[in-house]
Amino acid sequence: MSHARHAEALREISSWPSYRPTPLVHLRGLAQSTGLAAIWYKDESTRFGLNAFKALGGAYAVQRVLASALRERAGRADVGAQDLVAGRYRDIVSELTVTCATAGNHGRSVAWGAEMFGCRSVIYLPAVTSRHREAAIAAYGAEIVRTAGNYDEAVRRCDQDARRLGRFVVSDTSYPGYMEIPRDVMQGYTVMVAEALEQLPPGERPTHVFVQAGVGGLAAAVCAYLWEAWGAERPILVVVEPDAADPLFRSAAAGRPTRVPGEYHTIMAGLEAGEVSLLAWSILEKGADAFLTIPDEAAEATMRLLAEAVEGDPPVVAGESGAAGLAGTLAALQDAGARGTLQLGSDSRVLVFGTEGATDPESYKTIVGRSDDDVASTT
C-alpha cells in the first residue's frame, strides 16, 4: 500500500467508462444536532451504477490479474484498462476465469469487471445471501455457486475450486500465501479516500474517521492512505463492526487474529465476516486507534435518519452496511466513556464513508418504510 500505487490505480480507474468522483455530503444539520463541528458523508450509492464503493476494488484487481496473465502467457507488456475494454486481447482473455466469494457487493464488482474486460467469472455466495443480491451479480454474466455455510466457508470453497480448475481468485480478504491480489483490491479503494480528501472544504481536515469493516480491507485502505498522507497528524481512526460479526474487535482485544466462533448473521451483509484479512490486520493492529461494535438496530436507525434528513440536510440513501460508519459515530456520542476516550466534542470534525446505497431494495424499503427511489427524489 502506497501513494505511488494509488496513483497507478487512479490512472487506470479514472480511464474506465463512466468514472466520476462520488459526492461528499456535508451533514450540517446532523452535526449541529449531535454537538459536532462537522460530519462529512462520502456517498458511494452512485459509484459506476453498482451502488457501492466495492466497484473500485474488485474490478481494479480483475484488471490487474488479466494484465499479469497477458504478460505471462503472451508477452504483452503494459496492458491497460483501455486495451481490455476495447477487446484487443479478447482471444486470450475470454478463456480466463476470475472467481471470488462474496456477501454481495464485492462479487458484483468482480462480475462487472469481468464483463467489462471480457473474461469469465464464477461467484460463490454464502447461504444467507439475498436473492436480490444474487440476481444483481448474475446480471453481469457471472456463474453463481451457492454454498451451504457462511462467508468464510464460501471463501475456502472458492479457493479450493480455483486451485483445481485453474481460476484466478480475486478476493477482498487475504490469507497465508494469498496477499498480492487483496492488496490491489485495497489499493483500488484508496481512490475513494483521495476523492474525499480533495472534496473537503479548503483548509479543513477531519479529526476523526469512523470506518466500517468486514474482513478489514476498506478500513485498512483508509488507514494506510491517511497514515501516509498526514503521518502523526492523521485523524483518530475508529473501526466499526456489527456486534454479531466482529473479528477485528476480537483480534484487537486478544492482540492477535481471532475469529468469531460458531454461526453468525447480521443485516449488514457487506460486513458479515468471521475472520480477518491478514493483510488488513497487519495495518490496523498498528494504525487503528479504536474498535467498536454496533447492533443491527443501530444501522437500521441510521438508515432511517439519513433518509428523513435532519435540519435541512439532503436525504441520503444508505444501505445497511453503508450506514454503519455513521451509526458507530452516533453510538459513540451516546456513551460518555466512548466520547471521552475518542475525544469527541464540539470541535470534532468527522468523516464517514457511506459505502453502499440500497443494494437490496426490498430490504431497504422494509427498514426505512419508503423505497430508495422515493427517498432519492425527495427535495
Same domain for 170 and 275, yes or no, is no
The rounded distance, in Å, linking the Cα atoms of 150 and 94 is 31
Total domains in the chain come to 2
Same domain for 317 and 357, yes or no, is yes
Same domain for 49 and 116, yes or no, is no
Same domain for 25 and 110, yes or no, is no
Domain CATH number, residue 143: 3.40.50.1100
Residue entry with cell 468486514? 214
Domain boundary among 181, 197, 232: 181
Q: Which three cell numbers stand for residue 244?
A: 454479531
The rounded distance, in Å, linking the Cα atoms of 311 and 2 is 39
Same domain for 61 and 101, yes or no, is yes
One DSSP character per residue, 171-223 reads: -SS-BTTB-HHHHHHHHHHHHHHHHHHHHSPTT---SEEEEE-SSSHHHHHHH
Same domain for 71 and 82, yes or no, is yes
Residue 147 CB partners (closer than 8 Å, separation 6+): 101, 124, 125, 126, 127, 153, 154, 157
Same domain for 98 and 207, yes or no, is no
Q: Output the CA torsion sign for 362, 367, 371, 373.
A: negative
Same domain for 177 and 223, yes or no, is no
User: 114: domain range?
Assistant: 55-181
The rounded distance, in Å, linking the Cα atoms of 291 and 77 is 43
Burial class (CB in 10 A: 0-12, 13-18, 19+), 338: middle
Would you state the pLDDT for residue 75? 82
pLDDT in tens, the chain (379 residues): 999 999 999 999 999 988 999 999 999 999 999 999 999 999 999 999 888 998 899 999 999 999 999 998 878 778 889 999 999 999 999 999 999 999 878 999 999 999 999 999 999 999 888 888 899 999 999 999 999 988 889 999 999 999 999 999 999 889 888 899 999 999 999 999 999 999 999 999 999 999 999 999 999 999 999 999 999 999 999 999 999 999 999 999 999 999 999 888 999 999 999 999 999 999 999 999 999 999 999 999 999 999 999 889 999 999 999 999 999 999 999 999 999 999 999 999 999 999 999 999 999 999 999 999 999 998 6
Domain boundary among 147, 181, 215: 181
**H or E segment to which residue 303 belongs:** helix 296-308
Same domain for 345 and 371, yes or no, is yes
Same domain for 89 and 224, yes or no, is no
Instruction: Look up the pTM and report it.
Output: 0.94
Same domain for 11 and 31, yes or no, is yes
Task: Answer yes or no: are the C-beta atoms of 101 and 150 closer than 8 Å.
Answer: no
Pick the closest to residue 228 from 177, 285, 190 (CA basis): 190
Would you state the pLDDT for residue 379? 60
Same domain for 46 and 97, yes or no, is no
